[in-house]
Amino acid sequence: MNRSKPPALASWLLEHLTRRTQNDALAGDLLEEFRSGRSAAWFWRQVLLAILASVASTLRGVSFALGFAFLWTLGAPLWGRYFFPSQIHKLLQLAPSWYAYFQWPWSTIFEISLLSTLTAIPVVVGMSLYIVVSRQFSRRRLFFAVLLAFVLQAARILALPGIVHHSVSFSIASQFTILAITIWAAGGVKITNTRTDSR
């Protein structure tokens, strides 16, 4: 093994998976130590620790958004019970008879649109509240995130028929995932780019 060059894969991982602000100095320090006699195993260990530190730092940056999304979606069962009055439950019960007025594919499109809209409401309200609290607002990104919430709910309904009747834990997990994605899409989470500038 060439003592002047550290392991190529470890160097690539260090360059691409650590924060840009610390990458150059850290790479220089590790290369200097490696050339002074440190082993390849030591170099790998240092690279993996640097990647873990970078991931932990990124997670700290998104922890408020993830915490908010988790707490908001814990209330998902309450949303259906207290914020959907009996009239909306009646609407959902009557909806199948409305589908009969449409021929396929319009009946399916109507059903998916209705369910997607109703299930996207808590996500859009939660995302909007988060953006107001975090003071990171862009009209264009908010519109994109609302559209994304609707599309993700439609995809969830299409992928898993009978979604309305799934367990509470499944509902919370899927709502959490969709809310976290839409908060990110709305610009409510700033993740530092870990890649270095291309040379």
Backbone φ, ψ for residue 4 (5° rounding): -85, -15
- The residue behind tokens 């994109």 is 144
Confidence class of residue 108 from pLDDT cuts 50, 70 and 90?
A: confident
The answer to whether residue 198 scores a pLDDT higher than 50 is: no
Provide the pLDDT for residue 42: 92
DSSP 3-state of 3: coil
